[in-house]
Amino acid sequence: MARILPAMASQMIIVFFLLCSFSATFISAEEEQGFGKSLDPKQHKLKKEKLSHFHFFFHDILSGKNPTAIQIVPPPTNTSTTGFGSVAIMDDPLTVGPNISSKTIGRAQGLYASASQEEFALLMVMNLAFTEGKYNGSSLSILGRNPGATIKVREFPVIGGSGLFRFARGYALANTHALNMTTGDAVIEYNVYVFHY
């Protein structure tokens, strides 16, 4: 009898460990399945994807009493001719026409930074926040490189959006319409092509 008890005890311990490992495997598999799952796009009001084109003007105003873009980090004191390291934050109006007095349809909100030591090239990080018509409250997000001085038409990826632009993807073309070399004020023409639902 004394020999049977230790043998039973060791078997019970083995069974206990097997049960624990099985339950841990079951819980682990259940957790993995709960992390992500396939959804029916129709449940999220995602119908047929469409391609839209938007045309507007972006007003980057550095001068005057109410600038729409301000430098928040000056370039370090060095001999860089590109302003490498400087950062500006913007809340630039988007208008239907090239004049600042034309109808405002939204704002370009974000930042740009001089990101090249060799040429004038900016890192652009911005949301195009629309305020007009059915797009009011929706926005497109852009992240990309702007070699403004060397290329006439610059291209930026549209990496996402909100509101009517959920799951958006596409590209934006920027062309300098006007530039005041004294003040730095600029009017940029944008053509944006976006796939969205």
Domain ranges for the chain: 47-196
Helices (H), 36-75: none
Please say whether the beta carbons of 66 and 90 come within 8 A: no
pLDDT digits (tens, 9 = 90+) for 10-46: 666 665 555 555 555 555 555 556 677 777 777 777 7
DSSP state of 21: H
Task: Note whether 185 and 60 are within 8 A (CB).
Answer: yes
The whole-model pTM stands at: 0.76
pLDDT in tens, 146-174: 997 678 999 999 999 999 999 999 999 99
The per-residue pLDDT for 3 is 56
**What is d(CA 102, CA 95) in angstroms, rounded to the nearest whole number?**
6
Amino acid at residue number 137: G
Average pLDDT over residues 179-187: 94
Q: Which CATH architecture has domain 47-196?
A: Beta Barrel (2.40)
Interior angle at CA 99, CA 70 and CA 112, nearest 5: 25
Pairing relation of β-strands 69-73 and 87-95?
antiparallel
Residue 123 corresponds to which tokens in the numbers above? Answer: 């890192």
